[in-house]
């Protein structure tokens, strides 16, 4: 099992999904992507999450982000579950969901529950934890969050992180606590002296290492 960290290349795999068979790296192409996992179909918290992701479909597309889910069931089960998700969420799930009944992908991505030895299926296989991976166009993992079963994921926060990552990659800035798109950002620490003045002529120096500037993506 790989020890996946930020900066690791997202493992490639071939799997059946609700949109047919995919090779993950080919499916990613040169896009940003979110891979998010679920322990089982027809679970209450996950049903609300998938509906929320479907409602935010246009927000992900605006950012050039592909979305793919995973749950430890087969495709027939997923297809039936999607009907519930669409009805409950008043939406349309338009992204693929991986069928991972044997936990092959979950194992490759280190998603199996190691905290609770009782959290296993009828065959004694650990359930898949509820992870989120944000993967960049180079297929590098840029974010990994693991959520407890009791707490639904906050997809506005995940969109916020994507905004931060994309702005940082393009403009040599980082983002402060509670930042949202359009607010002031921080000049990257590697940008010194005259280079900072040239790139960010209106930046505000709070301390030698903390320099705020307007969000360059809004200009």
pLDDT of residue 190: 94
Q: Please, what's the b/e burial string for 46-60 (b: 16 or more CB within 10 A of its CB; e: otherwise)?
A: bbebbbbbbebeeeb
pLDDT band of residue 2 (cuts 50, 70, 90) is low
Q: Give 82's contacts (C-beta < 8 A, 6+ positions apart).
A: 18, 50, 93, 97
- Alpha helices (runs of H) in the chain, residue ranges in sequence order: 24-28, 44-55, 57-62, 75-89, 104-108, 155-171, 193-199
For the cut 70, the answer to whether the pLDDT of residue 39 exceeds it is: yes
Q: Is the pLDDT of residue 56 over 70?
A: yes
Answer yes or no: is 189 within a domain: yes
Residue linked to tokens 């639904």: 152
The tens digit of pLDDT for each residue in 124-148 reads 666 778 899 999 999 999 999 999 8
Domain-embedded: residue 190: yes
pTM to 2 decimal places: 0.91
Whole-number mean pLDDT of the chain?
92
Q: Are residues 18 and 51 in the same domain?
A: yes
Region 53-63: mean pLDDT is 97
The answer to whether 81 is a known catalytic residue is no
Q: How many domains does the chain have?
A: 2
CATH code for position 53: 3.40.30.10
Instruction: Name the percent of the chain lying above pLDDT 70.
Output: 93
Tell me, yes or no, whether 120 and 46 share the same domain: yes
User: Mean per-residue pLDDT for 93-120?
Assistant: 83
138 and 30 within one domain: yes
> What is the average pLDDT across 180-185?
96
4, 28, 46, 54: the active-site residue: 46
The span from the CA of 187 to the CA of 185, in Å, is 7
User: Does the pLDDT at position 117 exceed 60?
Assistant: no
Its domain, for residue 195, covers 172-218
| CATH value at residue 198 | 3.30.1020.10
* Higher-confidence position of 50 and 148: 50
Question: Bridge partners of 98?
Answer: 17, 70
């Amino acid at each position: 099992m790989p020890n996946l960290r930020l900066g690791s290349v997202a493992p490639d795999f071939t799997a059946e999904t609700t949109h047919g068979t995919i090779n993950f790296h080919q499916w990613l192409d040169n896009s940003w992507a979110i891979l998010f996992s679920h322990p089982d179909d027809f679970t209450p918290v996950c049903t609300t999450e998938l509906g929320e992701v479907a409602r935010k479909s246009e927000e992900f597309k605006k950012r050039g982000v592909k979305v793919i889910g995973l749950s430890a069931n087969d495709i027939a089960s997923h297809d039936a579950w999607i009907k519930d998700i669409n009805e409950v969420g008043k939406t349309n799930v338009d992204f693929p969901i991986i069928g991972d009944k044997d936990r092959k992908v979950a194992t490759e991505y280190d998603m199996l529950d190691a905290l609770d030895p009782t959290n296993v299926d009828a065959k004694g296989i650990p359930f898949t934890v509820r992870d989120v991976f944000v993967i960049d166009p180079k297929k590098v993992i840029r974010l990994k969050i693991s959520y407890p079963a009791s707490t639904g994921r906050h997809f506005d926060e995940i969109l916020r992180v994507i905004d931060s990552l994309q702005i940082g990659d393009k403009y040599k800035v980082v983002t402060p606590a509670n930042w949202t798109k359009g607010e002031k950002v921080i000049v990257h620490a590697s940008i010194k002296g005259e280079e900072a003045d040239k790139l960010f002529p209106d930046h505000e120096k709070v301390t030698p290492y903390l320099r705020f500037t307007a969000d360059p993506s809004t200009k």
